[in-house]
Amino acid sequence: MSQEIRKIEELARTIRRDIVEMVYLAKDGHPGPALSITDIVASLYGSLLRVNPSDPEWEGRDRFILSKGHACPAVYSALARRGFFSPELLPSLRALDSLLQGHPVMKKTPGIDMTSGSLGNGLSIGVGMALASGYTKKNFDVFVIMGDGELQEGIVWEGALSAFKYKLGRLIVFVDHNGWQSGASCNDVGGCVSVKSRFEAFGWHCQEIDGHDISAILQAVKNARAETNLPSVIIAETVKGKGVPFMENDNSWHKRVPSKEQYEEAMKILGGC
Amino acid sequence: MSEYKGSREAFVAAMTDLADKDPRVVFVSADSLKAARATNFAEKYPDRYFEAGIAEQNAVAMAAGLAACGLKPYVVTYGGFITMRACEQLRTFCAYTDLDVTFGGLNGGMIGGEREGVTHQALEDIGIVRTIPGVKVFAPADAAETYALAKAAGSLKGPVYFRLGSGREPDVFSPGTEVELGKLRKVLDYGNDVLLLSSGFVLDRVLKAAELLKAGGIGASVVEVHSLKPLDADGVVRELERCQVAVTIEDHTVIGGLGSAIAELAAERCPCRIQRLGIQDVFPESGPANTLADKYGLSPQAIADTARALAAGKGR
């Protein structure tokens, strides 16, 4: 195993501990969806994103949009661990006057490139960013993480069409395909059409990977970056609540606060205490 | 000076002039290139024309993405579609983010979309955007003022909503007219018997009403309010205190637009009698602009009658 992958895996473990602790201390938040995207977020901030924590507004940086904004504890942790702000701020999640709002806010939090939380909008906004990348010749890449549930929003497919029309090779979308959304399984709530077939129908470059396999994530992004003429979707098969066994695939953890005992158990599993 | 006819051409002429000097200015269309009269812009700057298709939410979200990367997008399409279909994208991703996105809402009002009817008449647009923090809201009175305002607004920061019309608006001001952004414009002063506050493409009707009043021995002042937000509060209060009674006239539902803005201000700072003329909480219909406006209570005679009754009741 390469040193890079070990480093990302260690970051992912740290992020998972931060997520559980943030939600426990804030007494609010979405642990399941955040744990689901943790390995993708760790790969982005641990390796893939060209960003500069000491100059968060650097014009040439790669952009990242967390379209499923409710999973933000994962991103807040990654930003803090990457040096955008102090990890000491993490326990202030959702508190009054905190930099760390309940959902991401670009004008409040260093490193957040776009406000999000209202589902479905990240892809279209990413289209605008990717168009700007080409027009300004800054040639940065634009990454978006979407949930599989939010693919039910119509604007996703408006944006998907535009991305194909404009051949936005710099737009790389992860779909966190854990199969669950707030109310129940995505298939039960929204219908059962495969994610891959939908993006294929819109002409995108599609890959399906294990969303918890760091080397697969890195390779998929490498493939996506090599595809310069089509927008890319990486459909990441994930487990909601990944890493905390009693949260895994239990949708009650979509938005739920662990008890003291559950918190301690989770931290022990994650190597935190 | 740029050539234009009507508010749509005037707006895009101003945008093009700004674009000539600022490469950050780009245009986002929702299959509205022709409607916006922006074909020449797209030919001149093909790499600055982004077409979202018949997908207004997509257009506004794309604009947010462009603006977040330092560009200054203009989104021009039908005002009802911007403010209703793409309301959330405007609010959350352009206003909450305080990004430099300028909106041109076509078919503002009943006579703005007179041929198509209610689906294409933006009757509630100002009321909707006025409630969103940080959005500046402008409703010019004709083409010349549209051009002047849009040029001046080019240096503003944050989101801006312009209410545009059909492109067939009557001209009131001379080409080259100047405008003080955000301030009232005193257009006519025949006295202080009654104040006529006008916003948008009904100013010609209001001026005719003032002439009718004058002929009947009533001196009206006509003040044009091109900036609904920020409202020139001190200017409005000064005029209200001078005349004591006022009529607001707008091609918009009387709920949420000029009439509401003036009444809200008056209630807090200078309570007085105000009559709100506009769309009276009904859906209008399609038809020729002039007869349509007359039928729905915006004829010069109806405006004059309302003002006369208010003036007669002063002090009672």
Split at pLDDT 50, 70, 90, the class of A192 is confident
Q: CB within 8 A of A138, min separation 6: which ones?
A: A59, A60, A132, B69
Q: Dump the DSSP string for A73-123.
A: HHHHHHHHHHTSS-GGGGGGTT-TT-SS-SS--TTTSTT--S---STT-HH
Q: Is the pLDDT at A273 greater than 80, yes or no?
A: no
Instruction: Answer yes or no: is B294 within a domain.
Output: yes
Q: What is the CATH number of the domain that holds B244?
A: 3.40.50.920
**pLDDT tens digits for A80-112?**
999 999 999 999 999 999 999 999 999 999 999
pLDDT, one tens digit per residue, over A147-167 is 999 999 999 999 999 999 999
pLDDT confidence tier of residue B304, bands split at 50, 70 and 90: very high
Structural domain contains residue B285: yes
Q: Do B62 and A125 touch (CB under 8 A)?
A: yes
Asked if residue B34 and residue B132 are part of one domain, the reply reads yes
CATH number at residue B128: 3.40.50.970
State the Cα angle at A82 between A79 and A85, rounded to 5°: 55
Task: Provide the token pair at A197.
Answer: 């077939």
Name the domain boundary from B96, B128, B163: B163
Chain B positions touching A165 (Cβ under 8 A) are: 51, 53
**Residue B282 confidence (pLDDT):** 98
pLDDT classification of B313: cutoffs 50, 70, 90? very high
| Pairs of residues, one from chain A and one from chain B, whose beta carbons lie less than 8 Å apart | 102
Mean pLDDT of A233-250: 98
- pLDDT digits 0-9 by tens, B225-271: 999 999 999 999 999 999 999 999 999 999 999 999 999 999 999 99
Q: Are residues B155 and B196 in the same domain?
A: no
* pLDDT over 70 at A1, yes or no: no
Question: What does each C-alpha distance from A163 to A123, A208, B216, B315 come to in angstroms?
Answer: 9, 19, 63, 64
Contact B208, B219 (CB under 8 A): no
Take residue A68 and report the two structure tokens written for it: 């499923």
Give domain status of residue B221, yes or no. yes
Together in a domain, B148 and B20: yes
Residues of B in contact with A118 (CB under 8 A): 88, 92
Is B168 within the bounds of a domain? no
Evaluate if residue B1 carries a pLDDT over 70.
no
Kindly state whether residue B177 falls inside one of the protein's structural domains.
no
Decide if pLDDT at A77 tops 90.
yes
Select from B47, B61, B70 the Cβ nearest to the Cβ of A125. B61
Q: Do B139 and B22 fall within a single domain? A: yes
Phi–psi pair at A14, nearest 5 degrees: -65, -45
Q: Are residues B146 and B201 in the same domain?
A: no
B100, B11: one domain: yes
As for how many domains chain B has, the answer is 2
| ipTM above 0.95 for this complex | yes
Q: Which domain holds residue B226?
A: 185-312
Give the nearest partner residue to A162 out of B48, B58, B96, using CB atoms: B58
Residue contact B68–A133, C-beta within 8 A = no
Which residue shows structure tokens 């749509």? B8
**Averaged pLDDT of chain B:** 97
- Both B262 and B140 in one domain: the answer is no
Structural domain includes residue B179: no
The neighbour count for residue B2, using CB atoms within 10 Å, is 13
Q: Do the chains contact at A128 and B70, CB–CB below 8 Å?
A: no
Q: What is the largest CA-CA distance in chain B?
A: 63
- Residues B31 and B143 placed together within one structural domain of the fold: yes
Nearest to A107 among B26, B61, B98 (CB): B98
Domain ranges of chain A: 3-269
**Does the pLDDT at position A251 exceed 80?**
yes
Q: Take residue A87 and report the two structure tokens written for it.
A: 């990890």
- Looking at domain A3-269, its CATH superfamily turns out to be Thiamin diphosphate (ThDP)-binding fold, Pyr/PP domains (3.40.50.970)
Residue B9 scores a pLDDT above 90: yes
B33 and B143: one domain?
Answer: yes
Are residues B159 and B26 part of one domain? yes
Listed residue (B307, B310, B95) closest to B222, CA to CA: B307
Judging contacts by C-beta atoms under 8 Å, the chain B residues touching residue A159 are 58, 61-62
pLDDT band (50, 70, 90) for residue B314? confident
In this structure, the answer to whether residues B219 and B116 fall within a common structural domain is no
Mean per-residue pLDDT for B64-83?
Answer: 98
Nearest residue to A116 via CA among B265, B92, B137: B92
pLDDT tens, residue by residue, B151-164: 999 999 999 999 99
On whether both B129 and B45 belong to a single domain, the answer is: yes
